Amino acid sequence: MERRSYTKILLQPSVSSAVCSIVLTVIIIAAANWNKISESLFFHEYISGPDRVVSLGNIFSSPGVNNVLIVIGALIIGGTFYFLLQSRQYITQGRDAWQLQEAARLRGERRQRMHIRLIVLASWVAFSIFCIKLFVPFCLLASEVGLEALWQWQGILYLLFGTLLLWFILHVHVIFARLFLLRLRVFGGNQTIIS
């Protein structure tokens, strides 16, 4: 494969990263602007009026929600242990490979990979600080301005611009994760290269 196709695969969002970034973008914008959203919705009285049907006390006291929260917590803990055990297996396999192959060549390659990862990590941290200080507040402000004038074309454009910019920022974080892992995709990189 030529270098351009690798770069294209690296920069192009996968289906899973695009969906996760979109969902996370909507959650961030909705959480930051919840007061504006809840006051301007047509069903404001239904959510937070005096005769509201839904309240947080009623939601968290139901056994169904508690069971769902327990299952989600169990999945998170199980996934963490799974990744820890898998990483232990990879370390063991790497140690066996290191013992079987030439030690000097592996040390040089590991040193190169470590240097690349340190450079990517430093860049990622700098980009994250820049995003937290400048881009994310700007995106949230643009979405807030858009929500205040929601039914006008300027409001829709502001909201769309803030949402797309926040999605792009999250996608750049995915690209940094790919570079840090030295893979074209975080999950399923080999299938992407083959297809």
Q: What pLDDT, in 10s, does the model give residues 77-126?
A: 887 777 777 777 766 666 665 566 566 666 777 788 888 889 988 998 99
pLDDT of residue 176: 87
pLDDT of residue 185: 65
Query: Does 65 map to a domain?
Result: no
Query: Does 146 map to a domain?
Result: yes
pLDDT of residue 131: 86
Query: Does 31 map to a domain?
Result: yes
- Please write the tens of the pLDDT for every residue from 126-174: 998 988 888 888 888 888 888 887 778 888 898 899 889 999 999 898 8
Amino acid identity of residue 22, one-letter, is I
Is 38 within 8 Å of 44 (Cβ atoms)? Answer: yes
- Please write the tens of the pLDDT for every residue from 21-46: 888 888 888 888 777 766 665 555 55
d(C-alpha 17, C-alpha 20), whole Å: 5
d(C-alpha 47, C-alpha 31), whole Å: 15
Taking the CA atoms of residue 140, residue 157, residue 145 and residue 176 in that order, the dihedral angle to the nearest 10 degrees is 10
The percent helix, strand, coil of the chain (3-state, each to 5) is 85, 0, 15
pLDDT of residue 194: 43
Q: What ranges in 33-152 are assigned the alpha helix state H? A: 34-40, 44-48, 56-61, 63-100, 103-130, 136-148
Predicted structure pTM score: 0.60
Query: Does 163 map to a domain?
Result: yes
Domain count, the chain: 1
d(C-alpha 128, C-alpha 191), whole Å: 30
Query: Does 109 map to a domain?
Result: yes
Structural domain boundaries enclosing 170: 3-50+104-194
Neighbours of 142 (CB within 10 A): 21
* Confidence band, pLDDT 50/70/90 cuts, at residue 195: very low
Query: Does 71 map to a domain?
Result: no
Residue 193 has pLDDT above 50, yes or no: no
Query: Does 110 map to a domain?
Result: yes
Neighbours of 17 (CB within 10 A): 20
d(C-alpha 108, C-alpha 114), whole Å: 10
Amino acid identity of residue 2, one-letter, is E
Residue 184 has pLDDT above 80, yes or no: no
* Confidence band, pLDDT 50/70/90 cuts, at residue 60: low
